[in-house]
Amino acid sequence: MILLVTGVTFFATLLVVATIVYGFSTAGGPAGGRLAQLWNPLSFQRPKRMRERQAERAEKVLEDLGRILPEAKGKQASRINRMMVQAGFRRPNAALVFRGGKILFTGLAVGAVYFSGYYRQNQMALFFALALGFVLPDLWLSRRIRQRKHRLRLSLPDALDLLVICVEAGLGLDQAILRVSEELKIVHRELSEEFRIVNLEMRVGKSRLDALRSLSERTGVDDIQALVAMLIQTERFGTSVAQSLRVHSDTLRTKRRQRAEEAAAKTPVKMVPVLVFFIFPALLVVILGPAVITLSRQLIPMMGGSP
């Protein structure tokens, strides 16, 4: 009994020590990285500065490459700038850096096809590499926009609940938005940044309605657009902000439940190709395979012995 207790205590102590070491190491994920930074902050400053310098140099090179292409004007320029903002790139040179990335990727694709000699076998290989270099960055940007919109859509219910609590506690809408942006800084970084920008715009003199409209345009999320429209109507008609936020929060939860039900209803349809092309052939081989082997063993000698 004494040996058992001693062994359990030893292994428990060893597990606790290993957990602490893993938590304070850099391989422990984001939480472990933050703990290690708190444990030894000086060791993280120099690599961070080096990464920032490398990012600035790469950005400068891509910006210089982006000036090779003609600059977009009019509606096309506004559309590109809106897409860059919706993807989370707010710097003025974001469009130039993106164009430079397209040129760099196109050059790499064409160079890979040319130096590999594959263009000798297929004359259209260089054309496909050129088209691929121009199309893939746009696809990547569209995918990034969709992912960011999805994260914003998922983080909005938590933000609405916090807004309701702050407004019902007596804070104004401006102070409530600022408090929510501070509370969501770690969990929902994208929405926290958007709320912080709204607060900064109102601080520099922009009206609340214009700041909210800018939020709707920057994000492009339908739920945020509905929230902005509700807040603008509340501001114009002078109704209770807390009650409007609570009603909108309940409506948003209903929409989330309906989206989940819709996704669940689509599951059987999405499983049909998988069943037809992957599951059913394996089942047929397992079920009919022994019968086919038995029949072949019985029929082949009979067919061979027949005149």
Supply the range of the domain harboring residue 32: 7-40
* Residue 82 in domain: yes
| Judgement on whether residues 112 and 209 belong to the same structural domain of the protein | no
pLDDT of 307 reads 45
Mean pLDDT by 10 residues, the chain (307 residues): 56 60 50 56 60 72 73 75 85 82 81 76 78 85 90 87 88 87 87 90 87 88 88 83 85 85 88 86 84 81 60
Q: What is the DSSP string of 212-278?
A: HHHHHHHH--HHHHHHHHHHHHHHHHT--HHHHHHHHHHHHHHHHHHHHHHHHHHHHHHHHHHIIII
Alpha-carbon span 164 to 280, nearest angstrom:
52
| Judgement on whether residues 102 and 168 belong to the same structural domain of the protein | no
Alpha-carbon span 136 to 147, nearest angstrom:
16
* Residue 304 in domain: no
| Judgement on whether residues 103 and 156 belong to the same structural domain of the protein | no
In CATH, what number is assigned to the domain containing residue 208? 1.20.81
Alpha-carbon span 104 to 98, nearest angstrom:
10
* Total domain count, the chain: 3
Q: Does the pTM of the predicted model rise above 0.85?
A: no
Alpha-carbon span 192 to 266, nearest angstrom:
32
pLDDT of 26 reads 45
| Alpha-carbon torsion (131, 133, 139, 141), positive or negative | negative
8 A C-beta contact, residue 242 and residue 161: no
Q: How far is CA 49 from the centre of its chain?
A: 26
| Judgement on whether residues 76 and 155 belong to the same structural domain of the protein | no
| Judgement on whether residues 247 and 162 belong to the same structural domain of the protein | yes
